[in-house]
A = this chain, B = another copy of it.
Amino acid sequence: MVGGEEAFQAYLGRRGLKKTRQRDAIVREFVKARRHITAEDLHRTVARRHPAIGLVTVYRTLRLLEGAGLAKERRFGKTESCYEPVLGVGHHDHLICTACGGIFEFENVEIEGLQDRVASQHGFLIQDHKLEMYGICRECRKRGERRRR
């Protein structure tokens, strides 16, 4: 999402939508995050400098970013969604620790290749995919696999 802010404004213009201070502030913080973040967390961050901006507007802006192809919604646990900036290239997937809740990212070209093959074997035209692996991370294994919650 290099130059994400300009891309976002172009998107707004194209759709006859307006550039506002709130959207600017939200998009700026979202880009700074550089990692998946929940709407609530993003709101907290934005509200430090702009206390008047509501959570509702954060949700709306995230949906706009998604529409612009600049953010992607993810759902790891059973509860809230996370949003992550769409960086120029390179898809990544996630390793999620069920003990500490930590989320680790990785990329693997071979897996991607196999996925494409499976998809075309089934006659699918692939648009997106996600791979999530759940387990115990190195740290938690050392610590003795204590469970959270």
Q: Which residues of A contact B (CB under 8 A)?
A: 73, 75, 78, 81, 95, 97-98, 104, 106, 108, 110-111, 114-115, 118-119, 122-138, 141
A127-B114 contact in complex given A75-B75, A104-B122, A119-B135, C-beta closer than 8 Å: no
Query: Do A115 and B133 touch (CB < 8 A)?
Result: yes
Counting from the closest, the 9 A-B pairs by CB-CB distance are A123-B138, A129-B133, A126-B135, A125-B136, A124-B135, A128-B134, A131-B131, A127-B135, A111-B114
A129-B131 contact in complex given A108-B114, A122-B104, C-beta closer than 8 Å: yes
Known: A127-B135, A131-B132. 4 other contacts (CB 8 A): A97-B124, A106-B118, A115-B133, A125-B135
A114-B123 contact in complex given A75-B78, A78-B75, A134-B129, C-beta closer than 8 Å: no
Query: Do B115 and A114 touch (CB < 8 A)?
Result: no
Chain B residues within 8 Å of A138, by CB: 122-124
Chain B residues within 8 Å of A106, by CB: 118, 122
A98 to chain B, nearest CB (A): 6
Within the assembled complex, what's the spacing in Å between the Cα atoms of A95 and B130? 11
A125-B141 contact in complex given A78-B73, A81-B78, C-beta closer than 8 Å: yes
Query: Do B119 and A95 touch (CB < 8 A)?
Result: yes
Query: Do A108 and B98 touch (CB < 8 A)?
Result: no
